[in-house]
Amino acid sequence: MDEGHVLVIGSASRDVSGRPNREIKLGVSNPGRVLRRVGGVARNIAENLARLEIDTVLLTAVGRDSSGKRVIKTCEDSGINCSHLRIIPGARTSSYLMVLQANGDLLTAISDFEVMEHVNADYLESSRELFESAAMIVVDATLSPSALAKVFELAAHYQVRVCADPTLPSLAGRLCDYIDQLYMVCPNAAETTALCGLDSPANDFETAVDAARHLVSLGTKIAVVTMAEKGLAYADGNGGGFIPAINTRVVDSSGAGDAFSGAVIFGLLNDVPVDEAMRLGVTAASLTLQSSLTVLPNLSQELLYEKLSI
C-alpha cells in the first residue's frame, strides 16, 4: 500500500431520516420510523476507510453544539483522525433531513451545510503539511468553489491523487473545472448531467458506460457511474465494464454510495486491479444496504473479502 494517510475533506453532519410504514400520504402525519445518525458524504467515506484500516484524516467544520460533539465522538471511535477539524462557536453543525418512501427510496430532503463555509482556502492552506504527506485526497462537492480551487492547487503542488464524490446533482457542477485533474470521480446517474453535459441522466447500461467513458475522455483517470439497483458502469484508460448490483434486502439506502467509494479507494490504495476494486465497492455497498446505519460498524477487510461474491 502507498505510504501516507488519506486526507478526506468535506461534510460531516447529523442525519435524520423518516420512513413510513406504508405508502406515504402528503399533508398528514404518517406512522413510521425516525432515525438519527451521524453522516455527511466525506465523513462517511472517511469512516469506511478507517474501518478498513486505512490511516484517515478528516478536514471538516462542525459547530460547538451537541451535534458537533456527537459527530466528533463517532468519528474518533471509528478511528478517524479528527485533530485537524474546525469547531466553530455559534455555528450549526451540518444536518441532513430525509423523507423516505416505504421501500426506502428517497422522496425528498433538506440539507443545511452552512458551516461548510468555514472549510475555506485559509483553513486548507494552514493544513498544507497534511497535503504534502497524503497518499490520496478525497473530497465531496459541499466544498465552496474557492476551497476546491485550493485543494487542487495543493494536490497539484504535492502531486497527490484526488478522488471526488459529486454529492448532489445541484453541487456536482462545482467539479467540472477539475475533471482533468481527478484520479477518480463517482457520480450517480442523476449527477452525470452536471458533470458530462448530457441532455438526460444516465439510466441504463449503455448510457452509463458512455457517461463513464466521456468523463475519462475529459481527463479523469477512473470514472464510475452508479445506478442503484441497476448496478454501475466504470471506465479507465484500459477500457471499462458494467457490474450488476447484488440482490439485497434493503433496510436503508443511506450511506451505500459512500461505502462503495470507501471500498474502491481501499482497493486502489492497495494496487488491486480496477475491476476488483469495483467489486469490493459493490460488496461494501450491498452490506451497508442491509444495515440501518450509514456505515457498517463491523466493516473490515476480512468481512469485505469474505462476502466478495461477484
Q: Which residues lie across from 140 on neighbouring strands?
A: 165
Evaluate whether 168 touches 191 at the Cβ level (below 8 Å). yes
- Report field, pTM of the whole predicted structure over 0.85: yes
Q: Which residues lie across from 81 on neighbouring strands?
A: 57
DSSP 151: H
CA-to-CA distance for 227 and 207, rounded, in angstroms? 11
Residue with C-alpha cell 451537541? 66
Q: What is the pLDDT of residues 182-216, one digit of tens each?
A: 999 999 988 988 887 776 778 788 889 999 999 99
pLDDT of residue 147: 98
Alpha helices by DSSP H, the chain: 41-51, 66-78, 121-126, 128-132, 145-158, 169-172, 192-196, 205-217, 256-269, 274-289, 301-306
Q: What is the pLDDT of residues 258-285, one digit of tens each?
A: 999 999 999 999 999 999 999 999 999 9
Evaluate whether 258 touches 138 at the Cβ level (below 8 Å). no
Q: What is the pLDDT of residues 206-260, one digit of tens each?
A: 889 999 999 999 999 999 999 887 889 999 998 889 888 777 777 777 788 999 9
Q: Which residues lie across from 226 on neighbouring strands?
A: 188, 232
Judge whether residue 70 has pLDDT over 80.
Answer: yes
Q: What is the pLDDT of residues 34-56, one digit of tens each?
A: 999 999 999 999 999 999 999 99
pLDDT of residue 309: 64
Identity of the amino acid at 55: D
Exposure b/e, 233-255, CB count within 10 A at least 16 = b: bbbbeeebebbebbeeeeebbbb
In this structure, how many other beta carbons lie within 10 angstroms of the beta carbon of residue 108? 9
In this structure, how many other beta carbons lie within 10 angstroms of the beta carbon of residue 302? 9
Residue with C-alpha cell 444516465? 202
